[in-house]
Chain A
Amino acid sequence: MTIRIYVPRDAAAVAVGADEVALAFAQAAAARGAAIEIVRNGSRGLCWLEPMVELSTAQGRIAFGPVTAADVPSLLDAMAGNGQHALRLGVTDEIPWLKRQTRLTFARCGVVDPRSVDDYRAHGGYKGLERTLTLSSDQILDDVTRSGLRGRGGAGFPTGIKWKTVAQASADRKYIVCNADEGDSGTFADRMIMEGDPFVVIEGMTIAGITVGATKGYIYIRSEYPHAVEAMNAAIAGARRAGLLGKRIGGSAHEFDLEVRVGAGAYVCGEETSLLESLEGRRGIVRAKPPLPAHKGLFGRPSVINNVLSFAAIPFILDSGAKAYADFGMGRSRGTMPIQLAGNIKYGGLFETAFGVTLGELVDEIGGGTFTGREVRAVQVGGPLGAYFPRALFDTPFDYEAFAARDGLIGHGGIVVFDDTVDMVKQARFAMEFCAIESCGKCTPCRIGSTRGVETINKVINGERVAENLAVIEDLCNTMKFGSLCALGGFTPYPVMSALKHFREDFGPAPARLQAAE
């Protein structure tokens, strides 16, 4: 009897030995003459258990992890026998960390074979597109608007309004652009979905194309994600073979095709207008708005530009209905958010849940605190441009407005946990350094402000006229916040000012800081 096992091909699993484990299974099975089918799935997102191997059984999939190549012979014995093993985690779907999630966007990630369009369809894929083909553009726009979906890239702009603007624009051609330049540290949801369920992104973009009347789409993926590039290219080829990209999509009169473009290591290209410049083959210099990309976007044509997760949320909305999506969430943040728990965290990974869960629940309960076992001192939410929050703010619910009210942002949903060894003045300096390295250089507050910021924080670290220099930093941050063209210069003040506000003791002259640490 052939046994079927799943060994993730997700980069996070590969980084901790999944390829070696898959190879060991193939070799060990061959040596025993045992028939084995190894599916390279995406990751379920329980990163501390990776490589997490699953065995297909009549009772559902059984998980084992974290597995090393050395565990493989004993695992094969267990799989052929009664299934008992020290690494056995039980039925995958019953693992509490997974069970308490609400997986709408990530429903199939880690479940299906990301190379197989048939497997995607067998798990409910392309049902959203099927329904799309029976609706008018206005009906689709109505669904997307009523779902309450807001751009998952960080800005939180209502997706339905953006699409409607493009649909109403007239031009010789329009474009759909997927922003997969996920550069924020602590975020990896785009990478995971592209590697684990690429067809959901393709389906979402196809629906967008049909809705607004665009026939060409680009997925701009950062070069740091070679596995995602490979997975998306393979899926695009598969969708073309299945008649789901190209002319006459799904037998309809609609045409839509996709192309992957690879970035070249510029963080600022995650900013939408800079990304468009880069796609056009130029330096990733931010454009002033207006005109909005919805009016004049890629090659001057009306363009829908959305984050990977926004497109990936669309098939569920079209298939299950706007209300089914909007029923989740709180306030003006509807639906679910794929949250990423990262950094110094015990149970890190991808946790998709309805908006409204508190930061404390995420870090302490779900994340289990730090892996070093030390106390959590600070968490940075929303990437390099997100604020550092102390424990005192752990009651903040995950919601666009609630974070904004506390001078923070949820951004792309990444949470990076730091223990009590962190030096917050260093983190503030890093934020300025990063901005200085990555600034596109177009506007002065960002280009010059970040460099002056690094210098001034260095003076504080050296204990030079601390009070005066802190006033300079505050002033610089205000200039950057209100005078920068885009979020890079405009949001760098968030980590800096939050570090200063909540961890003031780290900004004293060096001797005072050392005393405080003792």
Chain B
Amino acid sequence: MTVGYEPWDTTRGAEIIAEHAGLEGATLVILHALQEAFGYVPEPAIPMVAEALNLSRAEVHGVFTFYHDFRKQPAGRHVLKLCRAEACQAAGGDALAARAEAKLGVSLGHTTADERVTLEPIYCLGLCATAPSAMLDGRVVGRLDEARIDALVAEAQR
């Protein structure tokens, strides 16, 4: 869920970092944990991660920006991810994505002005035999059609 995240707090951030800093190759684990707590990876956390792992800020920033998952600012209250890969394209996903974009008034990769919904493409949920598929705040939905995508969009807007 994208609702119910903690506000950024240095002490809490340091706690999370310290919890995982002893792992082998901990950078991604820590970035995931920070995003899970705060909904995004707050900028002040980057030098803290670097310090804890004895890396340069540039290295941690480089990792943070390489991966599509990590956010530099909070997402909307709900995140609707539409699978845009080939199997979902073959099953009519293009038209459904256009429909969701029109209903929400934003294109894929953006958040509505009221900050309620972030609409994102995702490249394969592995639900390719029940395509087209989507994920709303971590809940997977398959066999999408116009009625189902409308219901998902309406649910996200609530």
Name A's B-contacting residues (CB within 8 A): 11-12, 14-16, 47-48, 50, 182-188, 190-191, 223-227, 261-267, 278-284, 299, 340-345, 348-350, 371, 380, 383-384, 414, 416-419, 422, 427, 430, 434, 438
The docked-state distance in angstroms from the alpha carbon of A371 to that of B87 is 13
Hey, which chain A residues are within 8 Å of B131, CB to CB?
A: 342-344
Q: Determine which residue in B27, B68, B130 has the highest number of CB atoms from chain A within 10 A of its CB, and name it.
A: B130
Tell whether B111 is near chain A: CB-to-CB under 8 Å: no
Please, which residue of chain A has its CB at the minimum distance from the CB of B142?
Answer: A15
B128, A188: Cβ atoms under 8 Å? yes
B127 A417 Cβ-Cβ under 8 A: no
CB distance from A426 to the nearest CB of B (A): 9
Convert B38-68 into 0s and 1s, putting 1 for each residue whose CB lies closer than 8 angstroms to a CB of A.
Answer: 0000000000000001000001001100111
Contact in complex: A14, B140 (CB < 8 Å): yes
Return A308 CB to nearest CB of chain B, in Å.
Answer: 12
Q: Given the interface contacts A188-B129, A266-B66, A343-B91, does A224 sit within 8 Å of B124 by beta carbon?
A: yes
**The one of B28, B85, B86, B142 that contacts A16, using a Cβ cutoff of 8 Å:** B142
Digitize B81-109: 1 where CB-to-A-CB distance is under 8 Å, 0 elsewhere.
00001111111100000000000000000
Given contacts A264-B31, A264-B68, contact A224 B125 (CB under 8 A): yes
10 nearest CB pairs, A to B: A348-B129, A185-B85, A281-B27, A15-B142, A264-B67, A342-B128, A343-B90, A265-B68, A47-B129, A281-B25
Interface of B is mostly: loop
- CB-CB under 8 A from B124, the residues of chain A are 183-185, 224
- Identify 18 residue pairs between A and B in the complex whose beta-carbon atoms are under 8 Å apart, listed by A's number: A12-B126, A15-B141, A16-B142, A184-B124, A185-B124, A187-B128, A188-B127, A224-B122, A224-B126, A225-B125, A262-B32, A264-B70, A266-B68, A342-B131, A345-B129, A348-B130, A384-B85, A384-B86
How many A-B Cβ pairs are below 8 Å?
152
Q: How far apart are B57's CB and chain A's nearest CB, in angstroms?
A: 14
B5 within 8 A of partner (CB)? no
Complex Cα spacing A14 to B126, Å? 12
Tell me how far the C-beta of B122 lies from the nearest C-beta in chain A, rounded to whole angstroms: 6
Is B29 interfacial (CB 8 A cutoff)?
Answer: yes
CB-based nearest B residue for A350: B129
User: Which of the four size classes fits the interface of chain B?
Assistant: 35 or more
CA distance A187 to B29 in the complex (A): 26
Inside 8 A of B27's CB, which chain A residues have their CB?
A: 281-282
- The residue in B29, B53, B86 that gathers the most chain A C-beta atoms within 10 A of its C-beta is B86
**Could you tell me the distance between the alpha carbons of A458 and B149 in the complex, rounded to whole angstroms?**
29
B129 touches A342 (CB 8 A): yes
Contact, CB under 8 Å: B133 / A299: no
A281 vs B60: C-alpha distance in the bound complex, in angstroms? 9
Bound-state Cα–Cα, A349 to B91, Å: 14
Q: Are B63 and A282 in contact (CB under 8 A)?
A: yes
Q: Are A422 and B90 in contact (CB under 8 A)?
A: yes
B126 CB contact (under 8 Å) in A187, A263, A267: A187
CB distance from B46 to the nearest CB of A (A): 14
